[in-house]
Structure 1
């Protein structure tokens, strides 16, 4: 039985500055059905404040507690372990790390820095890693779809470059890290097997959710989806649907 729903955001609920048609009403159907929801994003170009505000402005029934971000998870780790961040991320994301204490113990934190992925900043991060700093990756996605409709390199390529150069594997905080999915399930008082994932990334969203033990995972044909994605990664999706509205209809019809 499905008792909770986890959704990716960009490409599933909105594309650029516009909600995917039918997405807002789909979320309101889940709300009326009493199914709790968590919004699970790998986006690391915007702080959580802006992610929540954008969804709310589009009409989605969202609260800050329902949105989980890799930066938030990484900040929890940094506080717990007593490290200050050496950020290689987009300047807009810096506010999510602003309240962390400083100190001599530094961990390298890599997100999608966009144009800030300069050689100088990459090399500065590499040198911190070479001195023994822990390596935290906020996400490792291959690509994402930009507002102009074209695909762009995501943080994964840069994470892999630093892993290769330093011989160190990054600790991943976003999808497909099982702990990220489990945190969403726990926040809804659900076992992972009672949760369904809806995403546009067959690797991080769908295969990642199923490997983490979620009960089902739907791949939508919006956002970064490309023809044949459903066959490229294992486990394969529970179902491939047109969009989030169809996914919600299937959830409510099959498990509601």
Structure 2
């Protein structure tokens, strides 16, 4: 770990869960910044807008800056703009829709795409059937991510949007375009923002609580994949797949301790 020059950090489940800070994450982030280690935050949070997420972590005392934050929703919005979609069906929460202002036209107008995030109130038969009918016309299915489940503030887990994305894929015989983690493009966008021309992939760590979308995805893309035993982590996650995370830590503070100790 002594060769690490930059760090990508997940938010929900790693630094906080809902409105609760995970362990000593606030102080650990301060120590990481004091070491002059460049950091970016890569979040699959898709239930609230980027601004709402920023406001939440700032209330918790976490030093997260807007220019350092990359969310799956902003990646989806960029893809919507790139494709020139005027009226995608947004299966998103009211907060998440704020990242798609002027993109929510009346329901009786034909949709030219489907966007799916974490939106419990939208995951009912009528909404999914509207999405299915739009996809039957050949419109693209854009997913913020395909997370299987996520952490809750009471220490449990609940189903994520991945099951609903998969249901739409199956029904419409369409493959979703996943814009957040674990897509390589999402990671590369965050890495490019460091602005370090000679930064090698193996000199960057990605720490998160999702063994597949954080640690193993990072490892597959050439980064150091670090799994934190917090958030959605369940016992034995590190050994449930054919590959294993490069490093497993108790929490974010433990990771920072290891990183700074390795540099001595």
- TM-score, normalising length from structure 1? 0.94
- Post-superposition Cα deviations, 1:160-198, rounded to whole Å, max 9, x if no partner, equal 000011111100011111111111111112443321011
Aligned mates of 1:101, 1:191 — CA distance in 2: 41
Q: Map residues 136-215 of structure 1 onto 2, 5 A cutoff.
A: 136-189=142-195, 190-214=199-223
1:105 Cα shift? Answer: 6.9
Give yes or no for contact 1:230–1:237 (8 Å, CA) kept in 2. Answer: yes
1:221 Cα shift? Answer: 1.0
Q: Map residues 67-78 of structure 1 onto 2, 5 A cutoff.
A: 67-78=69-80
Asked if 1:220 corresponds to 2:219, the answer is no
Q: Which residue matches 2:92?
A: 89
1:16 Cα shift? Answer: 2.5
**Which residue, 101, 113, 117 being the options, matches 1:98?**
101
**Which residue, 6, 16, 22 being the options, matches 2:18?**
16
Q: Which residue matches 1:119?
A: 125
Give the aligned length: 255
Aligned mates of 2:110, 2:173 — CA distance in 1: 23
**Which residue, 236, 241, 254 being the options, matches 1:233?**
241
Q: Which residue matches 1:250?
A: 258
1:148 Cα shift? Answer: 2.8
Give yes or no for contact 1:207–1:233 (8 Å, CA) kept in 2. Answer: no
Structure 1: runs of 5+ lacking an equivalent: none
Taking only aligned residues, the RMSD between alpha carbons, in angstroms, comes to: 1.7
**Which residue, 29, 46, 49 being the options, matches 1:47?**
49
> Cα–Cα, structure 1 residues 100 and 252, in superposed 2: closer, same or farther, change >3 Å?
farther
Please give the secondary structure, in 2, of the residue aligned with 1:38: strand
Q: Which residue matches 1:38?
A: 40
1:254 Cα shift? Answer: 2.4
Give yes or no for contact 2:5–2:38 (8 Å, CA) kept in 1. Answer: yes
**Which residue, 104, 117, 135 being the options, matches 1:129?**
135
1:90 Cα shift? Answer: 1.6
* Moved beyond 3 Å, runs of 4+: 99-105
- Post-superposition Cα deviations, 1:62-105, rounded to whole Å, max 9, x if no partner, equal 21111111111111111122113211122221110004597977
1:49 Cα shift? Answer: 0.5
Q: Which residue matches 2:115?
A: 109
**Which residue, 79, 82, 90 being the options, matches 1:80?**
82
- TM-score, normalising length from structure 2? 0.91
